Structure 1
Amino acid sequence: MHDNRQTVAAVDEREALRADIYRLLARLLLAPPDAELLDLLAHLEPDEDGGEMSAAWQALADAAQTTTPEAAGRAHFELLVGVIQGEVTPYASWYLHGTLMDEPLVALRRDLRRLGIARAEESRDPEDHLGALLEVMALLVEGGSPDQAAFFHRHLASWAQRCLADLARVSPPIYAGTGRLGIAFLAQERQRFEAMTEESPVRMIDPAAG
Structure 2
Amino acid sequence: MTTHDIPDSRTEEADLRADIYALLAALLREPPSEALRQWLAGLEGEPDDIRLSQAWSRLAAAAADSDVERLERAHFRHLIGVIQGDVLPYASYYREGGLMEASLVALRRDLKTLGIQRSADVSEPEDHLAAMCEVMAMLIGQNDQRAGSFFHRHLAPWANRCMHDLARVDTPFYAALGELATLFFQRESAILIDNTTLGTPVPGTSVHEDRGQALGAGE
Given the two structures, how large is their TM-score scaled by the length of structure 2? 0.88
Change (3 A) 1:189 1:121: same
2:159 is the counterpart of 1:184: no
> 1:154-181, CA deviations, whole angstroms, 9 ceiling, x for partnerless residues?
1000000000000001111111111111
Letter in 2 for 1:145: D
Q: Which residue of 2 aligns with 1:6?
A: 6
Q: Which residue of 2 aligns with 1:140?
A: 139
Given the two structures, how large is their TM-score scaled by the length of structure 1? 0.91
Quote the Cα distance in structure 2 between the aligned partners of 1:133 and 1:6. Answer: 32
SS of alignment partner, residue 32 of structure 1: coil
Quote the Cα distance in structure 2 between the aligned partners of 1:197 and 1:99. Answer: 28
> 1:73-124, CA deviations, whole angstroms, 9 ceiling, x for partnerless residues?
0001001101111010000000011100110110001000000001111101
- Matches for 1:168-207 after TM superposition, within 5 Å: 168-197=167-196, 207=207
Among the aligned pairs, what percent are the same residue? 46
Residue 195 of structure 1 deviates from its aligned partner by: 3.3
Gaps of 5+ in 2: 214-219
Change (3 A) 1:82 1:159: same
Change (3 A) 1:162 1:65: same
Q: Which residue of 1 aligns with 2:36?
A: 37
Moved over 2 A (4+): 2-8, 47-50, 195-198, 202-206
Residue 7 of structure 1 deviates from its aligned partner by: 5.2
Quote the Cα distance in structure 2 between the aligned partners of 1:107 and 1:50. Answer: 34
Quote the Cα distance in structure 2 between the aligned partners of 1:142 and 1:194. Answer: 18
Q: Which residue of 2 aligns with 1:46?
A: 45
Quote the Cα distance in structure 2 between the aligned partners of 1:143 and 1:196. Answer: 14
Quote the Cα distance in structure 2 between the aligned partners of 1:188 and 1:180. Answer: 13
Q: Which moved more, 1:49-58 or 1:189-198?
A: 189-198
Residue 193 of structure 1 deviates from its aligned partner by: 1.3
Change (3 A) 1:49 1:142: closer
SS of alignment partner, residue 153 of structure 2: helix
| Contact kept? 2:165, 2:178, Cα under 8 Å | yes
Gaps of 5+ in 1: none
| Contact kept? 1:32, 1:73, Cα under 8 Å | yes
Q: CA RMSD in A?
A: 2.4
Q: How many residues align?
A: 208
Residue 11 of structure 1 deviates from its aligned partner by: 2.0
